[in-house]
Amino acid sequence: PKTDIVFLKVHKSASSTVMNVLFRFGETHNLTFAFPIGGGNQLFYPRHFLARFVQGFSPRSPQRFNILCHHMRFLQPEVQKVVSSSAIYFSILRNPVQLMESSFMYYKGTSAFSRARSLEEFFNQPYHYYNPADSDSHYARNLMTFDFGFNPNGAVSAKRVQLMLKAIEASFDLLLISEYFDESMVLLKEMLCWDLDSVISFPLNIRDSSTKSPLSDTIVEKIKDWNRLDWEIYTHFNRTFWERIDQDIGRERMQQEVKALRKRQAELARTCLQGIGSVAPKDIKDSSLQPLQHGKAKILGYNLKQGLDKETERMCRRLVTPELQYSSALYKKQFAQKRP
């Protein structure tokens, strides 16, 4: 199994669920994480990543960490200072249309979105709301482009798009697609030589469908135009994702793998969860499993079954612990011995 991993956590793309997979694997195998200084869940985002943002990094004795997965704006030369040269790099992408709709609800408090009542209103006159100079403007345009380290307001020329795609291809071993999450997990499992249980997950940081709104065709086209760089990244890597499946696994075996993964996930849900799955924030009984609520989004969580034996309870709890709580528990564990 591969244990040196860089995951670029792209916003609003099922990346919290992927992070849970990495947290569990790292904890089980006693791996070290590249945590932000002082803990927390962002490596000084939205600044470009620097090695000195990582707790325990020192240029004099460069310690290598196994897993780098907290929110950062990608900058490979700096990333290379904190992980082994053989580390596997991967990330996850999402259709920019859904990504924009999700960001609008989740980042409602940002300067670009706070005054617009709806996406329609925002797109009627985007520059009335959007100012590229605002420090939080990246949430409102080409967010994936920004997270990969590029300029989200750059001109969309064929040459520039090519260079950007080539740069991403040169840096990353695999790009997952959140719309094909199960297929993505199978590809990840193959690439990392992990077993099935290591990549099983329950969806985390997802919002209640009551806060989702259907988009008109006109708005969909406007979103694609506005996020043209993201759209180019997404369509290119959505294509290579399927090419990769055909080349490495084949469609038929992929179907069997996905079936096995879903079957195992359903078994674990029956073992671990009360009811049939996620519940509204107000219905989460254990406050330590309460996910962060953000913007206008209603983030769902889980209730664990009562009366599980210790071992099962521990496994189940890991599966449903929200990102911030899990991260802070791992941080305390990793740095506990350092405290006087």
* pLDDT score for 338: 53
* Tokens found for residue 71: 């929110």
CA distance linking residue 53 with residue 150, whole number of Å? 20
* pLDDT score for 129: 98
Task: State CA 101 to chain mean position distance.
Answer: 16
Does this model's pTM top 0.75? My answer is yes
Residue with tokens 């990608």: 74
User: Which one, of 52, 13, 56, 14, lies nearest residue 32 by Cα?
Assistant: 56
As assigned by CATH, the class of the 5-254 domain is alpha beta
pLDDT along the chain (340 residues), means of 10: 98 95 98 96 97 95 93 98 97 98 94 96 97 97 98 96 98 98 98 98 87 90 98 98 97 98 97 91 94 88 96 97 96 77
Strand partners, 33: 67
* pLDDT score for 337: 62
- Half-sphere exposure of 174 toward its Cβ, with a 13 Å CA cutoff? 23
CA distance linking residue 90 with residue 13, whole number of Å? 13
> How many CB atoms lie under 10 A from the CB of residue 269?
17
Question: 252 φ, ψ to 5°?
Answer: -65, -50
